[in-house]
Chains A and B, each alone.
Chain A
Amino acid sequence: MPELRIEATVNGRKVARAAKPHLRLLDFLRDDLGYTGAKEGCGAGECGTCSVFVDGVLLKSCLVPVAKAQGTTIETVEGLGHAGGLTVLQQAFHKAGASQCGYCIPGMVMAATAALRANPLASREEIKERLGGNICRCTGYQKIFDAVELARDVRNGRRPASALAEEDPVDGAFIGASVRRLDAPSKVSGALKYAGDMVMPHMLHLAVLRSPHAHARIVSIDTSEAEAVSGVEGVITAVDVPGIDGFGVFVHDQPIMARGKVRYVGEQVAAVASEDPLVARRALARIKVVYETLPAVFDAHEAMRPGAPVLHDYAPDNIVKHIPIRVGDVEKGFAESDLIVEEIYSTQQVEHAYLEPEAGLAYVDHDGVVTIVSPSQNITHHRHMLSRIIAQPISKVRFIMSPVGGGFGGKEDMVYQGMLALMAMKTRRPVRLVFTREESIITTAKRHPSHTTYKMGLMRDGRIRAAAIKLVSDGGAYGMSTEGVMRKAAILAAGPYSIPNVKIDTYGVYTNNTPSGAFRSFGALQSQFATETHLDICAEKLGLDPFAIRRINAMRDGAVTHTKQTLKSVSMLRALDATEQVSRWETGAPTSRGDVRRDLAGEGTRPPCTLGTRFANSAGKDSESEVA
């Protein structure tokens, strides 16, 4: 492989290095030069975490072959401030609270720097347009735009430099004051190291072989050819697990690597480690797995039918968890009702899409402690599970939580930490695994898709007499957080409404789909979507205002929930009042509509997306066209 010789100026320093010809500029900066401020959120030009300046032009370095860097001058986020200081823009990000997980922030800072270099007076609209190639999944964009506007104004003297400084707490109190985040400087400067940024001497890279089948028996796995590849330091499969295999948040049904059979497309089957990630990747093709495909089931209702393919022997009915709740007598409630409304609601699978793909670094330390550094959202539980799996006392297992580049529940499961531990134990070398965006999407837990049958009985005046709710969720191939999600869905299924007769059943079901797991709101979203949509439909049928029907039924101070919890104070009515006001609600049943739609446009609403602010700047005339 004829190596390239790259001579460039990076952050003001001359660099002359050999580089493998297939590398991208991002790999060269991160792996060869250690500038990890540029991140790989997607590797496909979609997210902007990798933005760097090349000869003054901002580029997505994941789309730049390293050869193109020859002879150029490169500036990364590490090179923006001088001698560790922060630029005005970085200080503005700090001040405005424009960083949460921080994973997108170096790229955002770069894009914002480019925007203000292109137009130091850029309007908010133009800033938005110029930052269009960068995605943030947690801060939200408003604070980022606030920060760029603040920096613009400070640099142009429209606001004083003191606007960047910490505000004094009002009367010594921090509540109500705009307090800067302690960890923001490390994020805006690119100094913070996420797991995928960390390196250790002698480190190996892990690559994972994944199942192409949704359901198949593993007849045999032959790793001998892969092991013989020069540069391969280790290959692991389920046979390398020394202890009792199995992890999960509630039920330990998932093996570190597929054991005996695979249950979904993308399930990990084997892993290879090498100093060179390319060698590891290529060696995957040398592992021979013989599968015998099994009938698969992709629909939760089908999986519940007798005779459906069974995923786990312990659960012949494919049910991960059924949560029943009974209050009063729903049949009696329905009989007393003036109106019965029955509908079906479904929600889809959703990907968390945190900008930091899963990553971890494991090593066995000098005392023989198996140590795993990863953005795990549940390290203590993981530590206990892993200790059993690798048959080591708890004192010999250590988890270190690295900064989480967005989790949203998706990093609660121990999906890859076990493989890292096994490989570190087998090779006695540090091992790092960094998922590609595609691996992250294909293999990790999603929000549960749901299917809810809702039956409600109401009186003509809007009082709810009874509700029968059945929610069936596709849990996918492994249990993960399904049980908890089903519990929460059941607890919240009837909404914040006082209903005398309630029957709730939530079911989490095994299928051969990608596993479902924890995701912000944890089951509440699915059931609330059903409840609130249902109430709107009921309001329409009864000729009631949707706010009115909710006020009639809302729990009030002292209410007892369907699961027998007494609520001392309930803010529901206040929330309804506030919502009604700010939404400029037109009073009346959903079927009525006044002459003027006061809810559209106006304060607090967003105009449709447009582009081309910069044309308006240069032409100064009517460049925006809002016709037809």
Chain B
Amino acid sequence: MLICDEYLTPTSLEEAFAAMACHRGECRIVAGATDLLPWAREGRAGDVEIPTLIDVSKIPELHERRADGKRVRLGAATPIQRFLDDPALAAALPAMPRCAVWFADDQIRESATIGGNIVNASPAGDGIPPLMAHDAVVELAARRNGSIVRRKVPLVQFITGPGTTTLAPDELLVAIECDALAGYGGSFEKVGHRRSLVISIVCLAVLVQLDGAGRGFEDVRLAIGGIGPVPRRLTAVESFLGQGAVTAARLEQAAAMPVELVASRTRQAYRRDIVRGFMLRGLIDAVRAAGGGTLTPDLARDLEAVYA
């Protein structure tokens, strides 16, 4: 049970920082509450008493949503469901709709925010790998000496371990900025115990841009979650696939590369199998979504021949 004496709902950053200053050390930020409420239960944190809860989900700036040709800016309180139902976001973030459809369920996605997912920093947080693949940067703000100061930190540096980030106690995650990758093919792979409401055992985001002829890679971006303490980019695979041809043999080689990165606390053998399969399927799906539809039947056939 999450017990508080006071629940504040500021409607501006100013108000939020004032509340945070006034209750320093005795408050906690709430956005969608979908991590906080289940955390404060028996078997996890148990009953938790926090004097003041500060709900940031009504601050307009945290709901900003802008995507131009180059960059996307997302308020931290953007609900996960918007990645499914906002066509502008879906176009600029091609792996996100699939990530969202496997995320919790339709109801929780309306509450759960992308900012909460990042600050919660679960090794299996589903929203994190796709954003990493988009070279996301988080914008943090605090009020110091009477004025609001902001800093930007690459997402890969922001998350430092399971549940830990470089967020300072007086800071809020305000927004996420990342590359707009319209025209890329995106895919998202996830496995857990069931279809809905499931924490990933492994999740993988793939973004692929093909060259003009549609037969070679122009750009490949990959990020994976669930295999170690923090989600991570797969830079070695990215540079290996680089700008070469899309062939079954190369995809297979690429798929084997991240297998050795599996460093989870449990079920390593299972995760190694998954990683290979996800890499292959994710790459093929992303190639197809990037417009390589004529390539993929051949790829699938070649790969099937190998695994038959």
Interface set of A (CB-CB < 8 Å, partner B) = 1-2, 4, 21-22, 24, 43-46, 48, 51, 57-60, 62-68, 70, 111, 114, 129-130, 132-133, 278, 281, 436, 438-439, 442, 609, 611-612, 614-615, 622, 625, 627-628
Which of chain B's residues have a CB closer than 8 A to the CB of A133? 104-108, 196-197
Kindly name the residue among A44, A45, A114 whose own CB sees the greatest number of chain B CB atoms within 10 A: A45
Q: Return the 8 tightest CB-CB contacts between A and B, nearest first.
A: A133-B105, A132-B196, A21-B7, A438-B42, A44-B38, A628-B281, A609-B195, A627-B300
Known A63-B33, A436-B41; judge A45-B197 contact (CB<8 A): yes
A439 touches B42 (CB 8 A): yes
| Residue B1 CB within 8 A of the other chain | yes
A64 touching B111, Cβ below 8 Å: yes
B265 at interface (Cβ–Cβ under 8 A)? no
Given contacts A65-B30, A609-B194, are A44 and B37 in contact (CB under 8 A)? yes
B107 touching A59 by the CB < 8 A rule? yes
B55 at the interface (CB under 8 A from A): yes
Whether A22 contacts B2 in the complex (CB less than 8 A), given A4-B7, A133-B197, A436-B42, comes out as: yes
Inter-subunit contact B37/A70 (CB<8 Å): no
Distance (whole angstroms) from the CB of A60 to the closest CB of chain B: 5
CB distance from A442 to the nearest CB of B (A): 8
- A611 touching B6, Cβ below 8 Å: no
Shortest distance from the beta carbon of B78 to any chain A beta carbon, whole Å: 15
Nearest residue (CB) in A for B42 is: A438
User: Which residues of chain B come closer than 8 Å to A615, judged between CB atoms?
Assistant: 97-98, 101
Contact across chains for A611 and B303 when beta carbons are under 8 A apart? no
Q: What residues of chain B lie closer than 8 Å to A436, measured between beta carbons?
A: 41-42
| Cα-based distance from A1 to B84 in the complex (angstroms) | 40
0/1 string, B136-166, CB within 8 A of A gives 1 = 0000000000000000000000000000000
* Contact in complex: B30, A22 (CB < 8 Å): no
Contact, CB under 8 Å: A21 / B110 = no
Tell me the bound Cα distance from A627 to B98 in angstroms: 16
Question: Are A62 and B105 neighbours in the complex by a CB distance under 8 Å?
Answer: no
Q: Of the candidates A43, A64, A65, which one forms a contact with B53 in the assembled complex, judged by CB atoms under 8 Å apart?
A: A65
Chain A's nearest CB lies how many Å from the CB of B137? 28
The residue of chain A having its C-beta at the shortest distance from the C-beta of B102 within the complex is: A611
Any A CB within 8 A of the CB of B280: yes
- Residues of the A chain whose Cβ atoms lie less than 8 Å from the Cβ of B53: 21, 65
* 30 contacting pairs across A/B (C-beta < 8 A): A1-B5, A2-B6, A21-B5, A44-B38, A48-B105, A51-B107, A59-B110, A60-B107, A63-B34, A63-B37, A63-B108, A63-B111, A64-B33, A65-B7, A65-B37, A111-B107, A129-B101, A129-B196, A132-B195, A436-B42, A438-B42, A609-B195, A611-B101, A611-B196, A612-B98, A625-B288, A627-B284, A627-B296, A628-B277, A628-B281
**Contacting pair B3 A22 (CB below 8 A):** yes
B177 close to chain A: CB less than 8 A: no
Number of A-B contacts (CB under 8 A): 131
Given A21-B4, A132-B106, A278-B3, A628-B300 contact (CB < 8 Å): yes
Whether A611 and B281, one on each chain, are in contact in the complex, defined by CB atoms closer than 8 angstroms, is no
Q: Are B106 and A130 in contact (CB under 8 A)?
A: yes
Inter-subunit contact B43/A438 (CB<8 Å): yes
* A67 and B7 contact, CB distance less than 8 A: yes
Q: A22-B1, A22-B2, A62-B37 are in contact. List 12 more A-B contacts (CB 8 A).
A: A59-B107, A59-B111, A65-B53, A67-B55, A133-B105, A609-B194, A611-B195, A615-B97, A627-B280, A628-B280, A628-B281, A628-B307
Partner of B1, one of A1, A48, A67, A281: A281
Q: Mark B91-119, 1 if CB is under 8 A from A, else 0.
A: 00000011001101111101100000000
Asked, given contacts A45-B108, A133-B106, whether A1 binds B47 with beta carbons under 8 Å apart, the answer is: no
C-alpha gap A628/B1 in the complex (Å): 44
Would A68 and B57 count as touching, CB distance under 8 A?
A: yes
- Kindly provide the distance from the CB of B203 to the nearest chain A CB, expressed in whole angstroms: 13
With a CB–CB cut-off of 8 A, which chain A residues contact B187?
625
Chain A residues closer than 8 Å to B37, beta-carbon distance: 24, 44-45, 62-63, 65
- Give the CA-CA distance A45 to B57 in the complex, in Å: 19
Bound form: Cα–Cα A132–B102 in Å = 10
Partner of A63 from B38, B47, B57 at Cβ < 8 Å: B38
The interface residues of chain A lying within 8 Å CB-to-CB of B296 are: 627
Chain B's closest residue to A21 (CB) is: B7
Complex: how many Å from CA A142 to CA B277? 31
A65: B residues at CB distance < 8 A: 7, 30, 33, 37, 53, 55
| Cβ–Cβ < 8 Å partners of A68 in chain B | 9, 33, 55, 57
Task: Judge whether B285 is part of the interface by a CB distance below 8 angstroms.
Answer: yes
Contacts of B307 in A (CB 8 A): 628
Given the complex of chains A and B, what is the CA–CA distance between A615 and B300 in angstroms?
Answer: 22
A22: B residues at CB distance < 8 A = 1-4, 7
Kindly list chain A residues whose C-beta atoms are within 8 Å of the C-beta of B197: 45-46, 132-133
Chain A residues whose CB sits within 8 angstroms of the CB of B57 once the complex forms: 68
**Which B residues between 285 and 308 are near A, CB-CB below 8 angstroms?**
285, 288, 293, 296, 299-300, 303-304, 307
Q: How far is the CA of A392 from the CA of B120 in the complex (A)?
A: 55
Closest chain A residue, CB of each to CB of B1: A281
| Alpha-carbon separation in the docked complex, A64 to B107 (Å) | 11
Closest to B297 in A: A627
A132 partner residues in chain B, CB cutoff 8 A: 105-106, 195-197
Interface residues of B in 30-66 (CB under 8 A from A): 30, 32-34, 37-38, 41-43, 47, 53, 55, 57
Complex CA gap A60/B34 in Å reads 10
What CA separation (Å) do A59 and B9 show in the bound complex? Answer: 19
The winner among A62, A66, A132 for most chain B CB atoms within 10 A is A132
B5 / chain A contacts, CB cutoff of 8 Å = 1-2, 21
Q: How near does chain B come to A74, taking the closest CB pair, in angstroms?
A: 14
A421 to chain B, nearest CB (A): 25
Q: Which residues of B contact A59 (CB under 8 A)?
A: 107, 110-111
Tell me which residues across on chain B come within 8 A of A114, comparing CB atoms. 106-107
Taking the closest CB of chain A, its distance from the CB of B167, in whole angstroms, is 21
In the complex, which residues of chain A have a beta carbon less than 8 angstroms from the beta carbon of B110? 57-59
